[in-house]
Amino acid sequence: MRDEKAVIKAFESFFKENYSFFYFTAYHLLSDEELSRDMVSECTQLVWERYRQGSVDEWKAYMYHTVRNKCLDHLRREQVKKKYIDFYKAVTSESFEQYNEDDERLDAIYHSIETLPELPRKVLEMCYFQKMKYRDVADELNISTSYVKKLIMAALSHIRKEVLSNNNSNFI
């Protein structure tokens, strides 16, 4: 069994002599002073446990590989985080753009419905908004079912023309 004070003193000496080497190794990979210091400190704790056990022969090489691997692991995690962030931004941006396009499309359609003559607008509203059947609409307005169909077709044609004429060709 080794003397605990001698082990601590030897490790302190090793750490003081090699700290700048390990720091610059981390800094070279990370390009961040604070993060490099944190990585070296974290690796020092890991290596200290091995040092106390006496299970490693080449301490400088072991510490170097530990620092390098920790830094590379950190960079990989950051790269994965960045991919998720970029993906999230792309998805939410597309969703927001799609929402705006849908909103504009609905506004254009509602505006063109408002410009319809009264009877076709009323028939369209009863069929599409109130979910009434053509027969029920015809009975309520005292018109034939075929005339309801003609009014619906004319109203939809009007809406298409109105929306397309407003340079919204991708709407319908």
Please give the pLDDT value at position 56. Answer: 65
- Over residues 15-44, the mean pLDDT reads 92
Which of the four pLDDT bands, split at 50, 70 and 90, describes residue 76? very high
- 95 band by pLDDT with thresholds 50, 70 and 90: low
- The residue ranges of DSSP E strands in 11-66, in sequence order, are none
State the pLDDT at residue 135. Answer: 94
Enter the tokens of residue 10. 């030897």
- Checking if the pLDDT of 168 tops 60, the result is no
Q: What is the pLDDT of residue 164?
A: 82
Please name the residues in contact with 11: beta carbons below 8 A apart, sequence gap of 6 or more: 48, 51, 52
**Mean pLDDT over each residue of the chain, to the nearest integer:** 85
Residue 77: band (very low, low, confident or very high) from pLDDT cuts 50, 70, 90? very high
Q: Please tell me the distance from the alpha carbon of residue 76 to that of residue 78, in angstroms, as a whole number.
A: 5
Confidence (pLDDT) at 93: 66
Contact 66, 29 (CB under 8 A): no
